[in-house]
Structure 1
Amino acid sequence: MITVIAEIKVKPGRREAVMREIEKLLPTVLAEQGCVSYVPMVDFNAQVPWRKTAPDSIFMLEEWESLSHLEQHQQMDHMDQHRATIKQDVLDVVIHILEKA
């Protein structure tokens, strides 16, 4: 099992629009073979001194049965369509693929 944390860096003021598109996508991705979980998250507004904020980012917390399943996910037609829909609002995407140590 692998865990993916993807930070989608969105243009200021466009996070809610991108989040709506992600919410439309959720049932389709969750039905994909090998998808264990696929959860969009946003920065929690905590007032702590060691916190680095990302108010315009969406973080996807994903679990996949294998890297192969993640690779298949990235190549799905619905993902190509999704990326095309939100590309004008996205500045960058940073993806971390993690495994238990």
Structure 2
Amino acid sequence: MLTVVAEICVKPGRRQAVLEIIKQLIPTVLKEEGCGQYDALVDHQAQVPWKQNSPDSIYMLEKWDSLRHLEQHQQMPHMEAHRALIKDDVVEVKIFVLEPTA
């Protein structure tokens, strides 16, 4: 199983609007073949010196059975529509595809 961490960097002040759109998408993605997890996370506002702060980012934590499933997910019509909905609010997307080491 692959773990995906995607950082969606949004324009200042637009995070909540993008989150609302993502929340509508989650149930559809969870029904996709090979999807084991699809969660949206935001920065916990803790004032500690060792923590990075990302007030304008949304992190997607995903689990996929295989790279094939992840690639199919990226090409789904609902994902194309989703990207079109949020494109004006998104500055950058960083996607990390991780695999277990043990």
Q: TM-score, normalised by structure 2?
A: 0.98
RMSD: 0.4
Structure 2 gaps, min length 5? none
Identity of counterpart residues, as a percentage?
61
Partner of 1:41: 41
1:52 shift after superposition: 1.1
Larger mean CA deviation between 10-19 and 46-55 belongs to: 46-55
Partner of 1:54: 54
Structure 1 gaps, min length 5? none
Matches within 5 A, 1:1-101: 1-101=1-101
Q: TM-score, normalised by structure 1?
A: 0.99
- The structure 1 segments of at least 4 consecutive aligned residues displaced by more than 2 Å after TM superposition are none
Residue by residue over 1:49-99, the C-alpha shift from the partner in whole angstroms, topping out at 9 and shown as x without a partner, is 111110010000000000110000000000000000000000000000001
Q: How many equivalent pairs are there?
A: 101
- Counterpart-to-counterpart distance in 2, 1:67 and 1:23: 24
